[in-house]
């Protein structure tokens, strides 16, 4: 079980046998999917300090229901393979890769909505404008005209001329226009309704996009909360009450941490730390530098002031 790759393969096979996905395991452990993949693949260069990996692996083995002996073997294996990868200058930050969900489908929705609106408007505009061919096919109304030459030829006074009575069966010009070119009232209503529906769809997509971005900005992601990029990073191997106050007098944290958990905080140096169980603190990083921890007894209150 100690050969390279077999421990990570064991974790992956056990997870798959339990029908658990990478995303479900990441949510349970409060880690990113890329971290879980790196643990199963034993990719040390993608993992943070061994102190943090030890807690991640222990929690992963417990989540899968491995025995206590198997859990210890898994943790020991990762400690062994992490030592060569962790021979870096102290204080060098290890940045965890961040992932972000694809958003191209939202852009596709917006482009599709714009195209639909443009097509509907084009059809509606063309429906209101008669074509030149239709205009040529309209019959011309017959009108009686009298020229001066005809009046002189017939020697009939202009005042005695009266317009000829139109035939009873011959429709007037106005009647022909109404019968041959009916106004597309129903078609206009359908076009206007389709245009309103398209505009509503585009507006709804824009509102959903704005709400999603506001929610993402309001809630910090799990990766940001668990990656060791904060000013203060504390790892614990046992239950411990913790209080952290920064230089401004602000209490950054006051509560209980459990074994295997990691606490990441942001504040302004120097800091004042109080640990109810000093021996439970496994590692400490302040402003990117690892702090050398003195010998402490279990259950002993330990106080520390950073420089």
Q: Where are the alpha helices (DSSP H) in 139-221?
A: 148-154, 173-180, 185-218
Mean pLDDT throughout 272-298? 91
The arithmetic mean of pLDDT across residues 252-275, rounded, is 93
The answer to whether residue 99 scores a pLDDT higher than 60 is: no
Contact 239, 276 (CB under 8 A): no
Q: What pairs with residue 234 in β-bridges?
A: 263, 284
CA distance 51 to 283: 7
pLDDT in tens, 189-244: 777 776 777 677 777 777 777 766 756 655 444 344 444 568 899 999 999 999 99
The contacts of residue 49 (CB under 8 Å, 6+ apart) are 86, 94, 228, 283, 285, 290
**Structural domain 6-85, CATH architecture:** Orthogonal Bundle (1.10)
Tokens 């046992």 belong to 238
User: Which pLDDT belongs to residue 241?
Assistant: 93
Tell me, what's the pLDDT at 271?
A: 95
Q: In terms of pLDDT, which residue wins out, 255 or 82?
A: 255
pLDDT at 253: 96
The confidence score (pLDDT) of residue 19 equals 93
- Boundaries of every domain in the chain: 6-85, 104-218, 230-305
pLDDT single digits (tens) 110-131: 888 888 898 888 888 887 655 5
Residue 193's pLDDT is what?
77
pTM: 0.29
pLDDT at 34 over 60: yes
Chain CA centroid to CA 210, Å: 10
Q: Which tokens sit at 75?
A: 């943790």
When the candidates are 2.40.160, 2.40.10, 2.60.40, 3.30.300, the CATH number that belongs to 230-305 is: 2.60.40
Question: Tens digits of per-residue pLDDT, 76-86?
Answer: 888 888 876 55
pLDDT of residue 179: 45
pLDDT at 82: 80
Whether residue 163 has pLDDT greater than 80: no
Closest CA to 43 of 96, 91, 99, 101: 96
In the beta sheet, which residues pair with residue 251? Answer: 245
Q: Would you state the pLDDT for residue 227? A: 46
């Amino acid at each position: 079980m100690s050969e390279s790759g077999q421990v990570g393969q064991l974790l992956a096979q056990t997870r798959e046998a339990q029908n658990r996905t990478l995303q479900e395991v990441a949510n349970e452990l409060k880690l990113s999917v890329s971290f879980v993949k790196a643990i199963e693949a034993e990719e040390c260069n993608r993992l943070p300090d061994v102190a943090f990996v030890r807690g991640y692996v222990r929690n992963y083995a417990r989540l899968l229901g491995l025995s206590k002996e198997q859990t210890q073997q898994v943790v020991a294996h990762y400690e062994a393979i992490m030592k060569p990868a962790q021979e870096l200058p102290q204080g060098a930050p290890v940045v965890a890769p961040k992932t972000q969900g694809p958003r191209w489908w939202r852009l596709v929705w917006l482009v599709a909505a714009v195209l639909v609106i443009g097509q509907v408007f084009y059809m509606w505009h063309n429906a209101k404008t008669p074509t030149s061919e239709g205009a040529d096919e309209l019959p011309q109304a017959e009108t009686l005209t009298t020229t001066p030459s005809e009046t002189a030829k017939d020697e009939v006074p202009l005042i005695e001329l009266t317009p000829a009575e139109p035939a009873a069966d011959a429709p007037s010009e106005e009647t022909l226009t109404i019968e041959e070119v009916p106004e597309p009232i129903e078609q206009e209503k359908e076009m206007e309704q389709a245009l309103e529906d398209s505009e509503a769809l585009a507006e709804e997509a824009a509102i959903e996009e704005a709400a999603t971005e506001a929610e993402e900005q309001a809630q910090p992601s799990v990766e940001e909360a668990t990656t060791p990029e904060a000013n203060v990073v504390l790892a614990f191997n046992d239950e411990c009450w913790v209080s952290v106050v920064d230089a401004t007098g602000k209490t950054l944290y006051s509560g209980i941490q459990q074994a295997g958990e990691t606490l990441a905080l942001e504040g302004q140096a120097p800091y004042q730390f109080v640990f109810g169980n000093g021996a439970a603190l496994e590692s400490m990083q302040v402003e990117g530098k690892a702090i050398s921890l003195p010998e402490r007894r279990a259950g002993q209150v330990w106080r520390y002031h950073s420089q």
